[in-house]
Amino acid sequence: MEHEIQQLVDMGATVAQARAALRRYNDVMEAAERIFGGAFDDIRDEGSETSAPSAGPSGKRERWPVTTRLVTPEEEDVPSEEASGSCEDDNEDDEFVNYDSDYEIRDDTPNAQVDIDPYAGILFSKDRREEVIEVEEEPDIVHIPGVNERVKLMTQNQWMKGCPEGGEQGFLFSLYSQLIEGKCPCPSGCDYSVTRTKSQFFAIFSSFEVYIDHLRGVVRQKCERCLKKFCLACGEPINGSRTSETAKGSNDYDIFHCSNLQGVILGVGLAVLEQLYHDQLQNPLGPENKVRTSKRRKTDSTINTSMILDPDDDDDSYLTPPAQGKKPKVGTGYAGDQKEDTTGQAEAQAIQHTKDERLGKLMAQLRVFLPSLRRPGGARTSDYLVHPTALAHLRRRFNNICSSLLRNDSLADMSDRSTVYFELFEWLETISNHEALASMMAMPIMVVSSVRTHTPKRATNGTLPLRERTIIYEGSSGPRELLESIVIQANAAIKGLEGVKPIEAAPVEMTEEQKRVNNDTKGKTKEVPLPPLSEENQKLFGFCQRILATADAIDRSLRETKGEKFLERVRESLPKIHTSDSTSNEVFVGAEASDEAVRQAYIAWATCVRFEYCDLTVPALTDKPVNQVNQDEPPNYKFYYNTEARMLASSDIPKRSLAIAKELAVLTTNLPVAWDSSIFLRVDETRVDIIKALIIGPEGTPYQNGCFLFDIFLGHNYNQLPPSVKYMTTNGGKFRFNPNLYADGKVCLSLLGTWAGPGWVAGKSTLLQVLISIQSMILCEEPYLNEPGWASSSGTPQSMAYSANIRRMVVKTAMLGNLKNPPEPFGDIIRTHFRLKVRSVSAQLDHWLSQDDGSQTVNDGAASGRSGQGGSGNGFQADIEELKRVMERLQEDNSVGGAESMIV
């Protein structure tokens, strides 16, 4: 009976609950079902208050030590404390439930409050870094009887790959060891046993279906003495009557009979899935054209993806990282010329579709074995008893695939790959529906940040040298947070697909005659339906609706399984789109805050407010009574292209709507944000083709920290042709800040067709490219060189004088002028920008003053004046002093109000 008790304890029951359940039920699985169904909740062990980690001084429950060392082949025979992943083997069950189970943090007191979030403070921190040493093992290759192929067997290292949580290593090691060695005795006690081998459970077949058929053939065993049937995975009897009650077919019951088998299937299946996914990423031409890479690897490299199980080459277990470092400015934002070769696009799309079909099919096959209490035909035993290794593998392997897919910044690409993404959404919903798995939605994903390969160590027993890697894992956004970024894109795309919406007219008091006419015609007319979407638009719209439905389903499941408080805290951590009436995004910092703290506060604020819908209309001014105003007349806008916008007020152009929808989806979450330079966008809430942009001048340029405003209109033929862009920060049409920025507001850029060079590519170029081109190529370090005739004059006195002249104009107009009279709708943005950067801007102004040549400011930017002895005769010093005074007043306002909104 002790063996059965230990099984139940391993599943999460207490010793007292296990003994009581086994006294009433002879079958371990039935006893476990009753325990976790709540039948024995009133039974507690003596001294059970010490079974889980206690709350620390901060009120958070302390975690058990996390193992950072995997066992080597020589250590397999002697499981040590390091190998098992715990300090005391008796506490392995407590370690597991500590980080994800409700059982160890359930309040069993009679007056317990059900609305308290039991997970507060232990699930959401991304400030975590783990170092793991992994040992490479050569897999065995065997021939499986009845299967016409030689297969590799999963090694222990491959089984245990990934960042450990709590007692995961102990559970993984225990299940692996149990199923590859020793004998499985007949549960009736007749001294008959069956030998377990690694090939029975850990064979990597070419097809997942073949693997499942193989398991069906080995898991049901029959005692040759007493003729009773039992499960090779858990050693428990297989009751015929239970089979008929639980499942329609015996094969299904065999596979879903026990949690041990569940852990194995998910572990092996997810390893195969991860391998297929990363193999497709590394080999864009498909497996038949796989290109082997060199075995030489850097000892230190930054990697943004998870390690994989590669049955062909263990050296390819980690993806080669992209090159790091500062991107070159040359060519940024250009999409190529009009004759760009696109002949290979159709072939590439066909290859991607084939790969997605394979990946989606495998995901669908494997999803069947996820624990689900909503399984068609009724839940099975393993659905109630989730094995700890199942959760471990989901966290280590599926989470990394999920993270990679959800970080896709192109909603259009996701829609084209709907086969994979629809299946991904099914996975997320299934996981969130189960109480034992739902916390995964909110927990940070541990991703590989670097891999360091060590010199192979020679083994003493004549075997092959052991190869070790040190992997650094760091916390990143969890599944629900990543999904919210796509939700934001989906909402923006739907808004774009709606096209131009009419302005809602103010309610008008009707005359008695109008009321009678209205009553007489009520019910006799039908509302005019919106024009149907085109096939391509409908496809994107349907995909966006599916995204929103998935997010709603996950939130609903989290509320049901984890409680309202848990869901509230999850939602508080999600990214949000700023709204014009929001006050929660105000940022105030104390004078004593460190430079690093201010930087972090600035980036957090800018990320939150970089994109916003707002009202850009101009209120109508008329002496006519309200009931005599023509409601069909389009409004005016605070916008340079007001006339063009009003002309398209009633237009419905499907291709344009689709292009704008895709554009908005990208812009909502991908506008560049940094301490050095950021881009802010404001879009009219009813006219998504009317856009205003504010670009902060990049650090190290004469435009640094200046605020530059642009009006942007997406015309009737967008994006077959580029958008219309007008530069608005011109000091009333007087200042020319750059050879490419005219005083009349013209923006010279080849991407816009206003300058020679690579131009706009219909259907491919984007507004984001235009914005980044202006930010990096026009607002550049040495703007004198932007004039073709001066391109080879870098570092010359003329170039230096040109930059000095720009600095004076920037301080006067793009800094002081915009701060004293902020352009709508960026007043709050500009004030917060200077308030948070007051120390940095003040130091910058002092440096600029020391660099000034004393020349008078020339409006067209030409450096024609002679250098003087200082910076006081041209008004530069006076402008700087006034700017500092204005920023000081902003700081005083900071110290007076908004204490509840402070970030730092």
Catalytic residues: 748
What angle, rounded to 10 degrees, do the helices at 876-896 and 827-836 form? 90
Q: What tokens does 484 get?
A: 């919210």
The single-letter DSSP state of residue 872 is S
Q: Report how far residue 712's alpha carbon sits from residue 706's, in angstroms, rounded to the nearest whole number.
A: 19
Contact in structure between 697 and 779 (CB atoms under 8 Å): yes
Query: Would the CA dihedral through 789, 795, 800, 806 be positive or negative?
Result: positive
Q: Report how far residue 212's alpha carbon sits from residue 356's, in angstroms, rounded to the nearest whole number.
A: 22
Q: Is the peptide bond before 825 cis (omega within 30 degrees of 0)?
A: yes
Q: What tokens does 336 get?
A: 């190529």
Exposure string for 233-260, b = 16+ CB within 10 A, e = fewer: bbbbbbbeebbeebbeebbebbbbbbbb
Q: Report how far residue 207's alpha carbon sits from residue 323's, in angstroms, rounded to the nearest whole number.
A: 35
Q: Report how far residue 417's alpha carbon sits from residue 353's, in angstroms, rounded to the nearest whole number.
A: 7
Q: What are phi and psi of 877, to 5 degrees?
A: -65, -40
Q: Report how far residue 183's alpha carbon sits from residue 627's, in angstroms, rounded to the nearest whole number.
A: 90
Q: What tokens does 279 get?
A: 């193999």
Residue 462, sorted as left (phi over 0), alpha (psi -120 to 50) or beta, turns out to be left
Q: Report how far residue 523's alpha carbon sits from residue 54's, in angstroms, rounded to the nearest whole number.
A: 67
Contact in structure between 799 and 784 (CB atoms under 8 Å): yes
Contact in structure between 366 and 266 (CB atoms under 8 Å): yes
What angle, rounded to 10 degrees, do the helices at 418-433 and 535-562 form? 20
List residues bridging with 185 in a β-sheet: 193
What does the CA dihedral 153, 155, 158, 160 come to, rounded to 10 degrees?
130
Report CA-CA distances (Å) from 130 to 83, 171, 394, 479.
Answer: 17, 19, 18, 20
Q: Report how far residue 217's alpha carbon sits from residue 207's, in angstroms, rounded to the nearest whole number.
A: 16
Helices (H) and strands (E) in the chain, counts: 31, 19
Cβ-based neighbours of 112, under 8 Å, separated by 6 or more = none
Q: What tokens does 22 get?
A: 């086994």
Query: Would the CA dihedral through 622, 626, 628, 631 be positive or negative?
Result: positive
Q: Report how far residue 652's alpha carbon sits from residue 27's, in angstroms, rounded to the nearest whole number.
A: 67
Exposure string for 723-741, b = 16+ CB within 10 A, e = fewer: bbbbbbbbeeeebbbbbbb
Q: Report how far residue 655's alpha carbon sits from residue 717's, in angstroms, rounded to the nearest whole number.
A: 8
Helix (H) or strand (E) holding 231: strand 229-231
Q: What tokens does 337 get?
A: 């010329």
Q: What tokens does 555 get?
A: 């939130």
Cβ-based neighbours of 853, under 8 Å, separated by 6 or more = 800, 801, 804, 867, 868
CB atoms within 10 A of CB 828: 15
Q: Say which residue the tokens 């760009």 belong to.
A: 340
DSSP per-residue string spanning 146-193? TSSSEEEEPPHHHHT-S---TTHHHHHHHHHHHHHSSEEE-TT-SS-E
Q: Report how far residue 647's alpha carbon sits from residue 629's, in angstroms, rounded to the nearest whole number.
A: 19
Q: Report how far residue 136's alpha carbon sits from residue 457's, in angstroms, rounded to the nearest whole number.
A: 11
